[in-house]
A = this chain, B = another copy of it.
Amino acid sequence: MPDILKKLAELIGFLPGIGEKTAVKLAFFLLKSHPSYLKKLSETLAELQDTVHECATCGSLTDKQHVECEICRNPLRKTEVLCVVEDYLDLVSIERLGVHHGRYHVLGWVISPISGTSPSDLHLKQLFQRIESEEIDELILALNPNIEGEATALYIDEYNPKKGLKISRLSKGLPNAGFIEYADEITLLSAFRGRK
């Protein structure tokens, strides 16, 4: 294989979820693609990290020319309900639903003794500052339903500076179109207990 194609396949192979064979396939596709597409892709990648930065308020992402992200800048978004997520992709998933009209706070990480992430690594200080300074009535903890998510939720519940603040979590249960016989015990128990 020509050196550059090998190198490109290797670089593409570092991307999550892309195996060696797919990487070669994609490298070949890129080689055969329209030059203008390739140019755009190359330029976009070169500019990417210099064009985007974290929102000063919520830790989400925004264009370099703005200090705050689009959601924090939007006066129509409610300040009373704050949705706490682990990372930006979780925010994107929830935004797609169109059901949350409040704002967000992106933690960046979750507490995980195994991978060595302690509470001080998360954007918790900023979160607690917001709880104190903003008019927040409800905190929705939209964290993944696993041990790290639970630990982080417990920590926030314990240390949030406004006692009596309403804190909710996403419900656990059967995924849509899932099967009871394939559900693990914790999921099924949650679904059973959370029946409506």
What chain B residues lie within 8 Å of A11 (beta carbons)? 37, 40-41, 44
Asked if A114 is an interface residue, CB under 8 A from chain B, the answer is no
What chain B residues lie within 8 Å of A14 (beta carbons)? 33, 37
From A47, which residue of chain B is reached at the shortest CB distance? B4
Q: Which of A16, A24, A30, A42 has the most CB of B within 10 A?
A: A42
Q: Are B89 and A25 in contact (CB under 8 A)?
A: yes
Q: Are A38 and B31 in contact (CB under 8 A)?
A: no
From A12, which residue of chain B is reached at the shortest CB distance? B41
User: Total interface residues on A, using CB and 8 Å?
Assistant: 45
Please judge, given known A-B contacts A11-B41, A29-B15, A29-B16, whether A1 and B48 are in contact too, CB under 8 Å. no
Asked if A146 is an interface residue, CB under 8 A from chain B, the answer is no
Q: Are A62 and B31 in contact (CB under 8 A)?
A: no
What chain B residues lie within 8 Å of A175 (beta carbons)? none
Distance in angstroms between the alpha carbons of A5 and B88 in the assembled complex? 12
Asked if A17 is an interface residue, CB under 8 A from chain B, the answer is yes
**Min CB gap A18→B, angstroms:** 8
Please judge, given known A-B contacts A7-B44, A42-B46, whether A1 and B92 are in contact too, CB under 8 Å. yes
Distance in angstroms between the alpha carbons of A92 and B25 in the assembled complex? 10
Q: Are B1 and A61 in contact (CB under 8 A)?
A: yes
Asked if A2 is an interface residue, CB under 8 A from chain B, the answer is yes
Q: Which of A2, A24, A30, A37 has the most CB of B within 10 A?
A: A2
What chain B residues lie within 8 Å of A186 (beta carbons)? none
| Interface positions of A (Cβ within 8 A of B) | 1-5, 7-8, 11-12, 14-17, 22, 24-26, 28-31, 33, 35, 37-49, 51-52, 61-63, 87-89, 92
Give me 6 A-to-B residue pairs in the complex whose CB atoms sit less than 8 angstroms apart, sorted by A's number.
A1-B92, A2-B61, A5-B61, A8-B45, A14-B37, A31-B48
